[in-house]
Amino acid sequence: MLITEPILLLDKEKCLRNIKFMAEKAVRHNLIFRPHLKTPQSAEIAKWYKEFGVTKITVSSLKMAEYFASDGWTINWEDITIAFPVNILQTDRINKLASKINLNILIACEDVMETLNKEITSKVNFFIKIDTGYHRSGIELKNIEEIESILKKADKSKLIFKGFLAHSGHSYNAKSLEEIQAIHNYSLDVMRELKSTYLDDYPDLITTIGDTPSCSLMENFEGIDEIRPGNFIFYDLAQWKIGSCSLDKIAVAMSCPVISKNKERQEILVHGGGIHFAKDVSSLEDGTPYYGLVVNLSDKFNTGWEIPESKSYVRSLCQEHGVIKASDELYSKVKIGDRIGILPIHSCMTADCMKKYYTLAEEEINMLKY
Amino acid sequence: MLITEPILLLDKEKCLRNIKFMAEKAVRHNLIFRPHLKTPQSAEIAKWYKEFGVTKITVSSLKMAEYFASDGWTINWEDITIAFPVNILQTDRINKLASKINLNILIACEDVMETLNKEITSKVNFFIKIDTGYHRSGIELKNIEEIESILKKADKSKLIFKGFLAHSGHSYNAKSLEEIQAIHNYSLDVMRELKSTYLDDYPDLITTIGDTPSCSLMENFEGIDEIRPGNFIFYDLAQWKIGSCSLDKIAVAMSCPVISKNKERQEILVHGGGIHFAKDVSSLEDGTPYYGLVVNLSDKFNTGWEIPESKSYVRSLCQEHGVIKASDELYSKVKIGDRIGILPIHSCMTADCMKKYYTLAEEEINMLKY
């Protein structure tokens, strides 16, 4: 295979191990496992989850729900949750999709109810978005009267209440396991409280949480019925930094052609920039910002990559350029025209930029195109 | 036009004014104007430059050169410069393209010469990349023997020396006009020095520089033959921050649907995240990081947007979510289901994410698809 441009490598075995780990954890804790497919965004990869018993999925947009529900794909999901608060401009498309599949939408505030009651004509399930401290969207427990009001208004509509959905996205910024634990515990407290308040009136309601750090690291899910992690299938350096995974679990790596070398600065220029990696940044132990970590690509394509002893990292990204601060070992070994493997900071964003994967078996895997 | 998702608006009149400004400046200083099309990445928009006499263009990848050179487009450029150091894995495609158009490639180090001499079989012009302090790629003046060596090796090949190319990208991080001036002056000094050294042997050589801050703000181009700015056609908040443009020159704005509102935090959630804006970040006057500035979209689509008195800004971006810190005025005015206009931090990256523009005349303009 002659590839002359930056590509995104995908180690299927690692993905399968990551899915297996999470699927088994869900079984162990008696949880519904509804993976978030905003990470791989691929109907092909979606099939891999099925092997581990997954029948329900999460997506982050109506477009993505339409893609995974499309007749063109051989996958028929039991139901799909759009874990992004409903966009009231899209009620027509929601009706259309909900007439074909079991669709769950997300309601994050009471103000959308009037439009939904008027315009939703298909049977649609909904979750109420609960803000457990991330403060991006949703209703805090202290504003329980807004929840009451949503439920009351939904009573006269086609909308069927399915439960409470939270995403403690602030766990991605946690500095320690204790901090993740504290975030997770608060989330459990809130969801238990809501469940005990509403279970009598809605005996089928479920509670669902989603962040990869909590789902990866925690072992107490009391009061939770469902988990929706997404990133865990690939993991990445951001997850590694907060302890959600080891480096050898990261299942995607950019492969970038070496363009030039600078001896004085011991730097390597690769083709691979912000339009390939996305611009997510993390920091090394000493606080230096960085955009990716170099791995050793095997000579044989199908054997993947290995973590080197001495660290080399991407120090800057422009539109098409990546500049690598190279270890002595990397600098002396690499030649112009070689390819360098680089683990991404945020795999969801990198995958979204690249729009295509190459497995180690040299198969191309396509993603949703926008 | 019913659009329910985030889109990128483009004010053609502002683009034309920005192009006119730069084209007239080039004439005034007797400079070749070779705009960098990595910003718009669109054959349709490329035609707009032609109205101002542009016949030569810059691109940032071989793929982009192939796109703009494609027979399918009605534009035939006099020549195309790929202002990204040559990737020696792509010599076959370079030969193919160079057999059809006048192609200029960029050489950033001597180590590529052996491969190029062996594998370049079409007539190809080349620039030598000079590092004027950005330290991304290229050769510093103190290493002039590497330039000598490249020229000597090229003598026996199909490669034709065209001149010296610099990009003082560190001007994008300048904190003051004086700093941009200093960066620009150093760049002029280096290029003049090289010109005086090599003009006798290569009487047709030209010197070319490219950064938008210098091209926008400076008035001395002594010793420079060509400018290659790209970003100036759209400008953005990063350029505004360093003084390259006023806010009313920014020619693109995201238009994002309002999803929910939070009264306590006076925040507005929009559909529009990192996969739409890219994750480039800037900072407000008090140092607060931000990802975009809200503008008032006119009720009538075709009249564009206006800069409000009171500032509202994007405080965070996730994959699909944008969270806006709203002014009192914005918060009280905006309703769920409205659209909010947002100027981007880095327009090149936002355009690359969006892959399509909507002009104020409601025309869709497509971009290069990867």
A10-15: average pLDDT:
97
Residue A370: is its pLDDT beyond 70? Answer: no
- What does DSSP assign to residue B220? -
CA distance linking residue A183 with residue A134, whole number of Å? 9
| Weakest mean pLDDT among A336-340, A366-370, B11-15, B238-242 | A366-370
* Beta-strand pair B356-359/B364-366: antiparallel
Identify the residue among A60, A139, A335, A336 best suited for mutation to test binding to B, counting B beta carbons within 10 A and taking the highest: A336
Structure tokens at B152: 């000597």
Looking at CA atoms only, how far is residue A109 from chain B in angstroms? 6
B294-320: average pLDDT:
91
Residue A216: is its pLDDT beyond 90? Answer: yes
Among residues A107, A109, A110, which one has the least CA distance to residue A127?
Answer: A107
CA distance linking residue A9 with residue A364, whole number of Å? 10
- Quick: pLDDT tens for A221-262: 999 999 999 999 999 999 999 999 999 999 999 999 999 999
Q: Do A316 and B136 touch (CB under 8 A)?
A: yes
Q: Do B169 and A135 touch (CB under 8 A)?
A: no
Residue A66: is its pLDDT beyond 60? Answer: yes
Residues ≥6 apart with Cβ < 8 Å to B101: B69, B77, B79, B80
Give residue A84's pLDDT band: very low, low, confident or very high (50, 70, 90). very high
Q: Are A171 and A211 in contact (CB under 8 A)?
A: yes
What rounded mean pLDDT belongs to chain B?
95
Give residue A73's pLDDT band: very low, low, confident or very high (50, 70, 90). low
B31-45: average pLDDT:
97
Q: Do B259 and A61 touch (CB under 8 A)?
A: no
Identify the residue among A3, A150, A259, A357 best suited for mutation to test binding to B, counting B beta carbons within 10 A and taking the highest: A259
Looking at CA atoms only, how far is residue B300 from chain A in angstroms? 18
CB-side neighbour CA atoms (13 Å) of B162: 23
Among chain B residues, the shortest Cα distance to A261 is held by B109
Q: Do B337 and A89 touch (CB under 8 A)?
A: yes
Q: Do B349 and A87 touch (CB under 8 A)?
A: no
CA distance linking residue B301 with residue B290, whole number of Å? 26
φ/ψ of residue A196, rounded to 5: -65, -30
Q: Could you say which of A278, A318, A337 has the minimum Cβ distance to residue B88?
A: A337
- Quick: pLDDT tens for A124-153: 999 999 999 999 999 999 999 999 999 999
Confidence at residue A2, expressed as pLDDT on a 0 to 100 scale: 72
Question: Who wins on pLDDT, B81 or A158?
Answer: B81
Q: Is B245 helix (H, G, I), strand (E, B) or coil?
A: coil
Q: Could you say which of B109, B320, B337 has the minimum Cβ distance to residue A84?
A: B320
Confidence at residue B88, expressed as pLDDT on a 0 to 100 scale: 97
Q: Do B109 and A5 touch (CB under 8 A)?
A: no
Q: Are B318 and B273 in contact (CB under 8 A)?
A: yes
Identify the residue among A39, A82, A171, A262 best suited for mutation to test binding to B, counting B beta carbons within 10 A and taking the highest: A262
Cα B208–Cα B213–Cα B217 angle in degrees, nearest 5: 95
In chain A, what residues touch B319 (CB-CB under 8 Å)? 38, 60, 348-349, 352
Give residue B370's pLDDT band: very low, low, confident or very high (50, 70, 90). low
In chain A, what residues touch B90 (CB-CB under 8 Å)? 4
Cα A278–Cα A284–Cα A290 angle in degrees, nearest 5: 25
Q: How far is CA A168 from CA A52, A59, A216, in A?
A: 25, 17, 13
Domains and CATH numbers, chain A: 13-234 (3.20.20.10), 247-366 (2.40.37.20)
In chain A, what residues touch B136 (CB-CB under 8 Å)? 269, 316, 318, 321, 323
Q: Do A111 and B336 touch (CB under 8 A)?
A: yes
Q: What beta strand segments (E) does chain B contain?
A: 7-10, 32-33, 56-59, 79-85, 103-107, 124-130, 159-166, 206-209, 226-227, 252-262, 267-271, 282-283, 289-290, 292-297, 305-306, 313-317, 321-325, 339-344, 356-359, 364-366
Residue B354: is its pLDDT beyond 90? Answer: yes
Question: How far from each other are the two terminal CA atoms of chain A, in whole angstroms?
Answer: 27
Which strand (E) or helix (H) includes residue B14?
helix B12-28
Q: Are B107 and B129 in contact (CB under 8 A)?
A: yes
Q: Could you say which of A63, A136, A321 has the minimum Cβ distance to residue B323?
A: A136
Radius of gyration of chain A (CA): 22
- Give the number of other Cβ atoms within 10 Å of residue A172's Cβ: 20
Q: Do B271 and A316 touch (CB under 8 A)?
A: no
Residue A74: is its pLDDT beyond 60? Answer: no
Looking at CA atoms only, how far is residue A253 from chain B in angstroms? 19
Q: Could you say which of A136, A262, A348 has the minimum Cβ distance to residue B269?
A: A136
Burial B171-190 (b: 16+ CB within 10 A, else e): bbebeeeeebbebbebbbeb
Confidence at residue B74, expressed as pLDDT on a 0 to 100 scale: 55
Residue A302: is its pLDDT beyond 80? Answer: no
Q: Are A276 and A350 in contact (CB under 8 A)?
A: yes
Which residues, listed in sequence order, are joined to residue A56 by a DSSP beta bridge?
Answer: A79
CA distance linking residue A255 with residue B305, whole number of Å? 41
Q: Are A148 and A112 in contact (CB under 8 A)?
A: no
B115-139: average pLDDT:
96
